[in-house]
Amino acid sequence: MTIYQVDSARMKRDLATLVAINTENPPGQEREAAECIAGWLSAAGFDLSFSEYAPGRTNVIAVLKNGVGPCFAFNTHIDTVPAGSGWASDPFTLTEREGRLYGRGACDAKGPLVAMVEALRLLAADPQSWSGTLMGVFTADEEVASEGAKFYVKERPPTIDFAVIGEPTSNATFSAHKGSLRPRVRVKGVTAHSGTPELGVNAIYQSAKLLGLIEEAHHQQVRCRCHALVGNASLTVTRVHGGHADNVVPDSCELLLDRRMVPGENEEEVKAEIQHLLDHAKASSGVEAEIIGWQATTGGATETDSSEAIVQHSLTACRRHGQPEAGPFGFQGGCDLVHFRALGAKGVVIGPGSLAVAHKPDEFVPVEEFIAAASIYLDVALAMLPQALAS
Protein backbone atom coordinates (compact mmCIF):
# COMPACT_ATOMS: atom_id res chain seq x y z
CA MET A 1 0.00 0.00 0.00
CA THR A 2 1.38 3.37 -1.03
CA ILE A 3 2.02 5.93 1.71
CA TYR A 4 1.34 9.37 0.27
CA GLN A 5 3.25 12.35 1.61
CA VAL A 6 1.62 15.74 1.08
CA ASP A 7 4.19 18.47 0.49
CA SER A 8 2.93 21.22 2.80
CA ALA A 9 5.75 23.64 1.94
CA ARG A 10 4.98 23.30 -1.78
CA MET A 11 1.28 23.85 -1.09
CA LYS A 12 1.99 27.09 0.77
CA ARG A 13 4.23 28.31 -2.05
CA ASP A 14 1.60 27.49 -4.64
CA LEU A 15 -1.13 29.25 -2.67
CA ALA A 16 1.09 32.32 -2.30
CA THR A 17 1.65 32.32 -6.07
CA LEU A 18 -2.05 32.00 -6.84
CA VAL A 19 -3.19 34.61 -4.29
CA ALA A 20 -0.71 37.06 -5.82
CA ILE A 21 -2.47 36.78 -9.19
CA ASN A 22 -5.45 39.13 -9.04
CA THR A 23 -8.61 37.37 -10.27
CA GLU A 24 -11.17 39.70 -8.69
CA ASN A 25 -14.56 39.27 -10.33
CA PRO A 26 -15.55 41.62 -11.77
CA PRO A 27 -13.68 41.72 -14.06
CA GLY A 28 -12.30 38.19 -13.58
CA GLN A 29 -9.49 37.87 -16.09
CA GLU A 30 -8.54 34.38 -15.00
CA ARG A 31 -6.14 33.68 -17.88
CA GLU A 32 -2.87 34.32 -16.02
CA ALA A 33 -3.91 32.12 -13.10
CA ALA A 34 -5.17 29.43 -15.51
CA GLU A 35 -1.77 29.36 -17.21
CA CYS A 36 -0.05 29.05 -13.84
CA ILE A 37 -2.25 26.09 -12.87
CA ALA A 38 -1.69 24.52 -16.29
CA GLY A 39 2.08 24.76 -15.80
CA TRP A 40 1.91 22.89 -12.50
CA LEU A 41 -0.22 20.07 -13.88
CA SER A 42 1.56 19.81 -17.21
CA ALA A 43 4.78 19.18 -15.28
CA ALA A 44 2.95 16.40 -13.42
CA GLY A 45 2.07 14.64 -16.70
CA PHE A 46 -1.45 15.87 -17.42
CA ASP A 47 -2.73 16.90 -20.84
CA LEU A 48 -3.83 20.54 -20.64
CA SER A 49 -6.31 22.65 -22.55
CA PHE A 50 -7.99 26.02 -22.14
CA SER A 51 -11.46 27.24 -23.01
CA GLU A 52 -12.71 30.82 -22.93
CA TYR A 53 -16.29 32.07 -22.95
CA ALA A 54 -14.96 35.66 -23.30
CA PRO A 55 -11.49 37.18 -23.73
CA GLY A 56 -9.45 36.41 -20.63
CA ARG A 57 -12.29 34.49 -18.95
CA THR A 58 -10.53 31.17 -19.00
CA ASN A 59 -11.20 27.62 -17.85
CA VAL A 60 -8.27 25.21 -17.57
CA ILE A 61 -8.86 21.48 -18.05
CA ALA A 62 -6.28 18.84 -17.06
CA VAL A 63 -6.74 15.20 -18.11
CA LEU A 64 -4.73 12.08 -17.28
CA LYS A 65 -5.87 8.78 -18.73
CA ASN A 66 -4.63 5.70 -16.95
CA GLY A 67 -6.31 2.58 -18.26
CA VAL A 68 -9.90 1.43 -17.99
CA GLY A 69 -12.16 2.84 -15.31
CA PRO A 70 -14.47 5.70 -14.40
CA CYS A 71 -13.75 9.40 -14.86
CA PHE A 72 -13.12 11.33 -11.65
CA ALA A 73 -12.90 15.13 -11.66
CA PHE A 74 -11.85 17.80 -9.21
CA ASN A 75 -13.41 21.20 -9.78
CA THR A 76 -13.29 24.62 -8.23
CA HIS A 77 -13.15 28.21 -9.44
CA ILE A 78 -10.25 30.51 -10.22
CA ASP A 79 -12.00 33.85 -9.65
CA THR A 80 -12.50 35.63 -6.33
CA VAL A 81 -14.75 38.40 -5.11
CA PRO A 82 -13.16 41.89 -5.02
CA ALA A 83 -10.71 42.37 -2.16
CA GLY A 84 -12.32 45.54 -0.86
CA SER A 85 -10.93 47.49 2.09
CA GLY A 86 -10.34 46.82 5.76
CA TRP A 87 -7.50 44.29 5.49
CA ALA A 88 -4.80 44.05 8.14
CA SER A 89 -2.31 42.97 5.43
CA ASP A 90 -2.05 43.08 1.65
CA PRO A 91 -4.88 40.86 0.32
CA PHE A 92 -2.68 39.73 -2.58
CA THR A 93 0.27 38.70 -0.41
CA LEU A 94 -0.29 35.42 1.42
CA THR A 95 0.43 36.07 5.09
CA GLU A 96 0.81 33.37 7.75
CA ARG A 97 0.12 34.13 11.38
CA GLU A 98 -1.22 32.12 14.30
CA GLY A 99 -1.86 29.01 12.22
CA ARG A 100 -3.79 30.82 9.49
CA LEU A 101 -3.01 31.80 5.90
CA TYR A 102 -4.51 35.18 5.00
CA GLY A 103 -5.23 36.46 1.50
CA ARG A 104 -8.06 37.03 -0.96
CA GLY A 105 -9.11 33.59 -2.16
CA ALA A 106 -7.27 31.77 0.65
CA CYS A 107 -10.41 29.73 1.33
CA ASP A 108 -12.71 30.75 -1.53
CA ALA A 109 -11.45 29.04 -3.48
CA LYS A 110 -7.73 29.17 -4.20
CA GLY A 111 -6.99 27.16 -1.06
CA PRO A 112 -9.21 24.27 -2.19
CA LEU A 113 -7.75 24.60 -5.71
CA VAL A 114 -4.15 24.25 -4.53
CA ALA A 115 -5.10 21.28 -2.33
CA MET A 116 -6.69 19.66 -5.39
CA VAL A 117 -3.56 20.30 -7.45
CA GLU A 118 -1.49 18.60 -4.74
CA ALA A 119 -3.78 15.56 -4.79
CA LEU A 120 -3.61 15.42 -8.59
CA ARG A 121 0.19 15.51 -8.50
CA LEU A 122 0.37 12.66 -5.99
CA LEU A 123 -2.07 10.54 -7.98
CA ALA A 124 -0.19 11.19 -11.22
CA ALA A 125 3.06 10.11 -9.58
CA ASP A 126 1.58 6.75 -8.56
CA PRO A 127 -0.42 5.38 -11.54
CA GLN A 128 -0.16 1.82 -10.19
CA SER A 129 -2.63 2.67 -7.41
CA TRP A 130 -5.60 3.61 -9.58
CA SER A 131 -7.18 3.12 -12.99
CA GLY A 132 -9.43 5.33 -15.07
CA THR A 133 -9.41 8.98 -16.06
CA LEU A 134 -8.44 11.77 -13.67
CA MET A 135 -9.39 15.38 -14.34
CA GLY A 136 -8.93 18.84 -12.91
CA VAL A 137 -11.52 21.30 -14.22
CA PHE A 138 -10.87 24.78 -12.88
CA THR A 139 -13.37 27.37 -14.05
CA ALA A 140 -13.93 31.09 -14.38
CA ASP A 141 -16.68 33.29 -13.00
CA GLU A 142 -18.31 31.16 -10.30
CA GLU A 143 -18.64 34.20 -8.04
CA VAL A 144 -21.02 36.03 -10.40
CA ALA A 145 -22.90 33.61 -12.62
CA SER A 146 -20.88 30.39 -13.11
CA GLU A 147 -20.40 31.30 -16.75
CA GLY A 148 -17.21 29.24 -16.89
CA ALA A 149 -18.89 26.05 -15.67
CA LYS A 150 -21.93 26.64 -17.89
CA PHE A 151 -19.65 27.11 -20.89
CA TYR A 152 -17.70 23.96 -20.04
CA VAL A 153 -20.90 21.92 -19.91
CA LYS A 154 -22.06 23.35 -23.27
CA GLU A 155 -18.78 22.20 -24.86
CA ARG A 156 -20.04 18.61 -24.47
CA PRO A 157 -17.12 17.28 -22.44
CA PRO A 158 -16.57 13.56 -21.89
CA THR A 159 -18.74 11.84 -19.34
CA ILE A 160 -17.68 12.49 -15.75
CA ASP A 161 -18.75 9.82 -13.30
CA PHE A 162 -17.68 11.42 -10.03
CA ALA A 163 -16.78 14.97 -9.01
CA VAL A 164 -15.54 16.77 -5.93
CA ILE A 165 -16.21 20.50 -5.90
CA GLY A 166 -13.90 22.70 -3.84
CA GLU A 167 -15.58 25.31 -1.65
CA PRO A 168 -14.94 26.32 1.97
CA THR A 169 -16.80 23.73 4.09
CA SER A 170 -14.32 23.37 6.99
CA ASN A 171 -13.45 20.03 5.37
CA ALA A 172 -16.94 18.63 5.91
CA THR A 173 -18.97 16.92 3.18
CA PHE A 174 -21.80 18.85 1.55
CA SER A 175 -23.95 16.84 -0.84
CA ALA A 176 -26.72 19.34 -1.69
CA HIS A 177 -27.13 23.04 -2.37
CA LYS A 178 -29.83 25.57 -3.13
CA GLY A 179 -30.35 27.22 -6.48
CA SER A 180 -31.55 30.71 -7.35
CA LEU A 181 -33.66 32.62 -9.82
CA ARG A 182 -33.67 36.44 -9.90
CA PRO A 183 -36.43 37.95 -12.03
CA ARG A 184 -36.44 41.70 -12.72
CA VAL A 185 -40.01 42.90 -12.43
CA ARG A 186 -41.33 46.23 -13.72
CA VAL A 187 -44.46 47.61 -12.08
CA LYS A 188 -46.38 50.03 -14.27
CA GLY A 189 -48.05 53.33 -13.38
CA VAL A 190 -49.20 56.52 -15.08
CA THR A 191 -47.05 59.64 -14.86
CA ALA A 192 -48.41 62.95 -13.61
CA HIS A 193 -47.30 66.22 -11.98
CA SER A 194 -46.60 65.62 -8.30
CA GLY A 195 -48.82 68.59 -7.48
CA THR A 196 -51.77 66.66 -8.92
CA PRO A 197 -50.98 63.04 -8.09
CA GLU A 198 -54.62 62.04 -8.47
CA LEU A 199 -54.19 62.42 -12.23
CA GLY A 200 -51.65 59.60 -12.32
CA VAL A 201 -51.03 56.12 -10.96
CA ASN A 202 -48.01 55.96 -8.68
CA ALA A 203 -45.94 52.92 -9.65
CA ILE A 204 -44.24 52.94 -6.24
CA TYR A 205 -47.59 52.63 -4.46
CA GLN A 206 -48.52 49.84 -6.86
CA SER A 207 -45.22 48.15 -6.05
CA ALA A 208 -46.08 48.31 -2.35
CA LYS A 209 -49.20 46.26 -3.05
CA LEU A 210 -47.12 43.70 -4.94
CA LEU A 211 -44.53 43.58 -2.15
CA GLY A 212 -47.24 42.53 0.27
CA LEU A 213 -48.31 39.72 -2.03
CA ILE A 214 -44.69 38.58 -2.43
CA GLU A 215 -44.24 38.43 1.34
CA GLU A 216 -47.51 36.52 1.65
CA ALA A 217 -46.40 34.03 -1.03
CA HIS A 218 -43.12 33.45 0.79
CA HIS A 219 -44.79 32.64 4.09
CA GLN A 220 -47.82 30.73 2.84
CA GLN A 221 -46.46 28.86 -0.17
CA VAL A 222 -42.72 28.97 -0.82
CA ARG A 223 -41.15 28.46 2.59
CA CYS A 224 -43.30 25.37 3.14
CA ARG A 225 -41.01 23.55 0.72
CA CYS A 226 -38.25 22.12 2.87
CA HIS A 227 -35.25 19.91 2.19
CA ALA A 228 -33.55 17.89 4.91
CA LEU A 229 -30.07 19.30 4.19
CA VAL A 230 -30.59 22.82 2.83
CA GLY A 231 -33.74 23.89 4.66
CA ASN A 232 -36.54 26.05 3.27
CA ALA A 233 -37.10 27.56 -0.14
CA SER A 234 -37.56 31.33 -0.07
CA LEU A 235 -38.84 34.34 -2.00
CA THR A 236 -37.76 37.86 -1.17
CA VAL A 237 -37.04 41.26 -2.72
CA THR A 238 -33.45 42.52 -2.74
CA ARG A 239 -33.63 45.71 -4.82
CA VAL A 240 -36.22 48.45 -5.50
CA HIS A 241 -35.78 51.35 -7.92
CA GLY A 242 -38.52 53.79 -8.85
CA GLY A 243 -38.97 57.35 -10.03
CA HIS A 244 -36.89 59.63 -12.21
CA ALA A 245 -37.62 63.17 -11.01
CA ASP A 246 -38.43 64.90 -7.72
CA ASN A 247 -41.70 66.40 -8.97
CA VAL A 248 -43.10 63.61 -11.14
CA VAL A 249 -45.41 60.77 -10.16
CA PRO A 250 -43.44 57.70 -11.30
CA ASP A 251 -44.87 55.56 -14.05
CA SER A 252 -42.40 52.72 -13.41
CA CYS A 253 -40.82 50.92 -10.49
CA GLU A 254 -38.45 47.98 -10.80
CA LEU A 255 -38.03 45.18 -8.29
CA LEU A 256 -35.40 42.46 -8.16
CA LEU A 257 -36.74 39.24 -6.68
CA ASP A 258 -34.56 36.50 -5.22
CA ARG A 259 -36.11 33.03 -5.32
CA ARG A 260 -34.03 30.33 -3.61
CA MET A 261 -34.91 26.82 -4.73
CA VAL A 262 -34.33 23.55 -2.91
CA PRO A 263 -33.43 20.23 -4.54
CA GLY A 264 -36.48 18.73 -6.19
CA GLU A 265 -37.90 22.04 -7.41
CA ASN A 266 -38.13 22.55 -11.17
CA GLU A 267 -36.88 25.87 -12.56
CA GLU A 268 -39.55 26.15 -15.23
CA GLU A 269 -42.30 25.42 -12.73
CA VAL A 270 -40.87 28.04 -10.36
CA LYS A 271 -40.81 30.60 -13.19
CA ALA A 272 -44.44 29.78 -13.93
CA GLU A 273 -45.32 30.29 -10.26
CA ILE A 274 -43.73 33.75 -10.28
CA GLN A 275 -45.73 34.68 -13.38
CA HIS A 276 -48.87 33.37 -11.69
CA LEU A 277 -48.13 35.65 -8.72
CA LEU A 278 -47.98 38.67 -11.04
CA ASP A 279 -51.23 37.61 -12.71
CA HIS A 280 -52.84 37.32 -9.28
CA ALA A 281 -51.61 40.81 -8.36
CA LYS A 282 -53.36 42.25 -11.39
CA ALA A 283 -56.59 40.35 -10.79
CA SER A 284 -56.80 41.04 -7.05
CA SER A 285 -55.21 44.48 -6.68
CA GLY A 286 -55.05 46.02 -10.15
CA VAL A 287 -51.25 45.92 -10.17
CA GLU A 288 -49.78 45.75 -13.67
CA ALA A 289 -46.36 44.13 -13.55
CA GLU A 290 -44.18 42.18 -15.96
CA ILE A 291 -40.92 40.24 -15.89
CA ILE A 292 -38.46 42.21 -18.00
CA GLY A 293 -35.44 39.97 -17.55
CA TRP A 294 -33.59 37.48 -15.43
CA GLN A 295 -30.37 38.29 -13.61
CA ALA A 296 -27.66 35.70 -14.15
CA THR A 297 -27.13 33.32 -11.23
CA THR A 298 -24.90 30.34 -10.50
CA GLY A 299 -27.75 27.95 -11.34
CA GLY A 300 -30.34 25.61 -9.90
CA ALA A 301 -30.48 23.38 -6.85
CA THR A 302 -29.13 19.85 -6.76
CA GLU A 303 -28.17 16.98 -4.50
CA THR A 304 -26.34 13.67 -4.52
CA ASP A 305 -28.17 11.08 -2.46
CA SER A 306 -26.50 10.45 0.88
CA SER A 307 -26.41 6.72 0.20
CA GLU A 308 -24.16 7.11 -2.85
CA ALA A 309 -20.64 5.72 -2.53
CA ILE A 310 -18.92 9.06 -3.15
CA VAL A 311 -20.83 10.63 -0.26
CA GLN A 312 -20.02 7.78 2.10
CA HIS A 313 -16.34 7.68 1.13
CA SER A 314 -16.14 11.46 1.48
CA LEU A 315 -17.55 11.29 5.00
CA THR A 316 -14.96 8.65 5.91
CA ALA A 317 -12.11 10.71 4.45
CA CYS A 318 -13.20 13.89 6.23
CA ARG A 319 -13.38 12.09 9.56
CA ARG A 320 -10.03 10.40 8.98
CA HIS A 321 -8.35 13.76 8.46
CA GLY A 322 -9.67 15.73 11.38
CA GLN A 323 -13.32 16.66 10.85
CA PRO A 324 -15.48 14.74 13.37
CA GLU A 325 -18.68 16.48 12.20
CA ALA A 326 -18.29 15.34 8.62
CA GLY A 327 -21.88 15.72 7.42
CA PRO A 328 -23.52 15.31 5.05
CA PHE A 329 -24.69 18.94 5.00
CA GLY A 330 -26.27 21.30 2.48
CA PHE A 331 -25.31 24.76 1.20
CA GLN A 332 -27.76 27.63 1.59
CA GLY A 333 -26.27 29.20 -1.52
CA GLY A 334 -25.30 27.75 -4.87
CA CYS A 335 -22.10 26.44 -6.42
CA ASP A 336 -20.91 24.58 -9.51
CA LEU A 337 -21.95 21.11 -8.32
CA VAL A 338 -25.26 21.53 -10.17
CA HIS A 339 -23.45 21.81 -13.51
CA PHE A 340 -21.44 18.63 -12.96
CA ARG A 341 -24.62 16.87 -11.89
CA ALA A 342 -26.04 17.96 -15.26
CA LEU A 343 -23.23 15.95 -16.87
CA GLY A 344 -24.35 12.90 -14.90
CA ALA A 345 -21.64 13.09 -12.24
CA LYS A 346 -22.34 12.08 -8.67
CA GLY A 347 -20.56 14.61 -6.53
CA VAL A 348 -19.90 16.36 -3.25
CA VAL A 349 -18.55 19.71 -2.07
CA ILE A 350 -15.54 19.69 0.26
CA GLY A 351 -12.90 22.26 1.07
CA PRO A 352 -10.81 23.92 3.76
CA GLY A 353 -11.83 27.18 5.39
CA SER A 354 -15.18 28.60 6.40
CA LEU A 355 -17.87 30.49 4.51
CA ALA A 356 -18.02 32.73 7.59
CA VAL A 357 -14.76 34.41 6.51
CA ALA A 358 -15.09 34.09 2.72
CA HIS A 359 -15.85 37.34 0.86
CA LYS A 360 -14.71 39.39 3.88
CA PRO A 361 -11.56 41.38 4.73
CA ASP A 362 -8.85 39.18 6.26
CA GLU A 363 -10.14 36.03 4.57
CA PHE A 364 -8.08 33.09 5.75
CA VAL A 365 -7.71 29.33 5.65
CA PRO A 366 -6.45 27.40 8.70
CA VAL A 367 -3.12 25.80 7.83
CA GLU A 368 -4.09 22.40 9.24
CA GLU A 369 -7.35 22.29 7.25
CA PHE A 370 -5.59 23.43 4.10
CA ILE A 371 -2.99 20.65 4.31
CA ALA A 372 -5.56 18.05 5.40
CA ALA A 373 -7.77 18.89 2.40
CA ALA A 374 -5.17 17.48 0.00
CA SER A 375 -5.27 14.15 1.85
CA ILE A 376 -9.07 14.16 1.88
CA TYR A 377 -9.20 14.76 -1.87
CA LEU A 378 -6.62 12.04 -2.44
CA ASP A 379 -8.55 9.51 -0.34
CA VAL A 380 -11.85 10.20 -2.09
CA ALA A 381 -10.30 9.82 -5.55
CA LEU A 382 -8.60 6.55 -4.60
CA ALA A 383 -11.85 5.22 -3.16
CA MET A 384 -13.75 5.92 -6.40
CA LEU A 385 -11.09 4.84 -8.90
CA PRO A 386 -10.39 1.09 -9.06
CA GLN A 387 -6.91 -0.19 -8.39
CA ALA A 388 -4.82 -0.63 -11.51
CA LEU A 389 -4.42 -4.20 -12.74
CA ALA A 390 -0.97 -5.67 -12.20
CA SER A 391 1.01 -5.94 -15.42
Active-site residue flag, 143: no
The answer to whether residues 91 and 62 touch, using CB atoms and an 8 Å cutoff, is: no
Closest CA to 69 of 387, 390, 314: 387
Query: Catalytic annotation on 167?
Result: no
Q: Looking at the DSSP assignment, which residues form a beta bridge with residue 183?
A: 294
Residue from 118, 142, 143, 251 carrying the catalytic annotation: 142
Q: CA-CA distance, 252 to 191, in Å (whole number)? A: 8
> Catalytic residue among 79, 147, 161, 369, which?
79
Angstrom distance (rounded) from CA 43 to CA 60: 15
Of residues 113, 129, 141, 8, the one with CA closest to residue 64: 129
Q: Which residue numbers are catalytic?
A: 79, 142
